[in-house]
Amino acid sequence: METYIVRQPILDRSKQVIAYEILYKEDESSLFQQRDSRVANAIEEFLTELSSESFLGGKAAFLTFTPNLLMKNIPKMFSPDRLVIQIEDNSIIHPVAQKMIYRYKKQGYKLAIRDFEFSPRYFSIMDAVDYVKVNFGRVGNGLLSESSLKNVVDIAHSFGKQVVAYQVNSPAARDLAQELSCEFTQGTCVAEQTASKVHRVDHMQSNFFQLMVAVARDEPDVEEITQIISRDVALAFSLMKLVNSAYFALCNRAKSIQQALVILGIGQLKQWIYLLSFKQESGGTSEELIKTSFLRATFCQELAKHIESLPISSAEAYMLGMFSTLDQLMELPLDMVLAELPVAQEIKEALLTKEGKCGHLYQLVLCYESADWGQMTHYAELLGLPMNIITQIYFDSVESVNAIWSTLLKPGQAETEQAAEALEQEMSSK
């Protein structure tokens, strides 16, 4: 049995991540496998082997529990401030489970109803509920009308409950959630909503400050600089575009960030950073979107190491994942953005058509993100990728990203000022 677990961010109206829903699936090799067992196994895997603290990055978890698991006190494995107990219809109609719901409420846990409906059985527990989750993916496909959805949201608000719009997988669904005043959103289109509304790439300020400090040292460490740039899609894009520009007139294009730095050299790198320092503004691109690009890059790179005959290197697979969000960052069609960036043709085709071996890798990553386990399995089989390593690679990638993010605090003001002053003095002397 293989367990697949993924986190999906839940954002508030200010585009800040307030929690992650934990979605899971266990490979069903037995027709007699019970759902309680699958859920319990996923929770155990999540809490023990896979380190939930680092996986969540300090945020709370929305997690669905069956009636039996509620009655066995499984939610108590989590502290009340780190868990939102999701309940479905089978818990609402179960008389003992209802009593347990109120008990958890008294113990300080928050609760969410998934797929709320206009029905007396839901009204009977509304005073214990904090969040109502409404499926926006059912709109526009004949399953639910916009007016019906509005009624559900209005009823939830009339009870004083906060609404989480989930399955927000299209711009239309995203706009509708905003129109109906939903407090929170979740889905594949959420990341797009977090992008800055500017037609250029902004650099994450804290990361940029670290880069300034790194290049201002007497003996800059190229490996350290590579790592800093590799976690910021905006910096990576700017660097690759610069190095592969006509100015350098290269016969062989840089295919990785490390290659680009070698071509640029420390002297010109310092000039580039100095120029970029004038463009730094308050605000900038959503950190969650940059995190998404960083996670995709890391996930792609590590998966690539286990795929035979992949036409790109693991370093290029990193670029594949990282540059997958450029259209959202720049609010331009992806083909227009990639036209300015001379990356490997296989990467362009993968991002634009999702075809070929590289396209299958990209599809696998997207399917895993959206918890589309069936399609994810399909692409894994096409790639000859061992199923038993995918979840572990995903968790390792998340933990790696979170560990790096925890260090992305602004350097001390004095250190930053010293670095800026050193760069300015060096540039003025040339």
Letter for the amino acid at 14? S
Q: What is the pLDDT of residue 287?
A: 64
Distance in angstroms (rounded) separating the CA atoms of residues 30 and 331: 46
pLDDT at 413: 45
Number of domains in the chain: 2
> Which one of 193, 228, 245 terminates a domain?
193
CA separation for the pair 93, 163 (Å, rounded): 21
- The pLDDT of residue 286 is 58
pLDDT given for residue 100 in this prediction:
87
- Digit-by-digit pLDDT tens for the chain (430 residues) are 456 788 888 998 888 888 988 887 755 443 334 566 666 666 655 655 444 566 777 788 898 888 888 887 878 878 898 899 998 877 777 778 788 888 999 999 999 988 877 777 777 788 889 999 988 887 766 566 788 888 889 988 998 999 999 988 888 888 899 999 999 999 877 544 333 222 334 455 556 767 766 776 668 888 888 888 888 877 887 788 777 664 455 556 777 888 888 887 887 777 667 556 544 443 444 567 777 888 998 899 999 999 999 999 888 898 899 888 877 776 677 887 787 666 788 999 999 999 999 999 999 999 999 889 999 999 999 999 998 899 899 989 988 887 766 654 434 444 445 445 555 554 555 4
- 16 and 42 share one domain: yes
Same domain, 171 and 219: no
**Residues 297 and 230 sit within 8 Å (Cβ to Cβ):** yes
Cα 225 to Cα 169: distance, rounded to the nearest angstrom: 36
> β-pairing, 110-114 with 83-87?
parallel
**Residue finishing a domain among 159, 193, 227:** 193
* H or E, element range at 184: strand 184-185
For residue 418, the Cα-to-chain-centroid distance in whole angstroms is 34
Shared domain for 199 and 260, answered yes or no, is: yes
Whether 329 and 427 share a structural domain: yes
Say yes or no: 201 and 247 in one domain: yes
Q: DSSP 3-state assignment of 73?
A: coil
Check whether residue 16 and residue 85 sit in a common domain: yes
pLDDT the model gives residue 62: 92
Query: Is residue 98 located within the same domain as residue 57?
Result: yes
Same domain, 383 and 314: yes
Residue 118 · residue 152 · CB < 8 Å: yes
Residues 201 and 188 in one domain: no
pLDDT (0 to 100) of residue 79: 84
Q: Are residues 294 and 367 in the same domain?
A: yes
Q: Where among 130, 161, 193 does a domain terminate?
A: 193
Helix (H, G, I), strand (E, B), or coil: what is residue 305? Answer: coil
| Domain harbouring 77, CATH code | 3.20.20.450
- pLDDT for 271 equals 62
Q: Which helix (H) or strand (E) holds 425?
A: helix 413-428
How many other β-carbons are positioned within 10 Å of the β-carbon of residue 219?
5
Are 388 and 304 in the same domain? Answer: yes
Letter for the amino acid at 66? T
Q: What tokens were used for 26?
A: 């266990």
The neighbour count for residue 22, using CB atoms within 10 Å, is: 22
pLDDT value for 407: 52
Give the helix, strand, coil percentages of the chain, each rounded to 5.
55, 10, 30
Closest CA to 108 of 68, 79, 71, 67: 79
Helix (H) or strand (E) segment spanning residue 375:
helix 373-383
For residue 392, the surrounding DSSP H or E stretch is helix 390-405
Euclidean distance between CA atoms 131 and 135, whole angstroms: 13
Residue range(s) defining the domain that contains residue 314? 194-430
Alpha helices in 79-204 (DSSP H): 89-92, 95-106, 120-123, 146-158, 171-179, 190-193
Contacts of 142 (CB under 8 A, 6+ apart): none
Q: Do residues 297 and 232 make contact, with C-beta atoms less than 8 angstroms apart?
A: no
Mark whether 242 and 264 lie in a shared domain.
yes
- Which tokens belong to 386? 């061992």
H or E element in which residue 300 lies: helix 287-304
Asked if residues 307 and 361 have their Cβ atoms less than 8 Å apart, the reply is yes
Cα–Cα distance, 289 to 201 (Å, whole number) = 12
Q: Please, what sign has the CA dihedral across residues 168, 170, 174, 175? A: negative
The Cα 221–Cα 77 span in angstroms is: 44
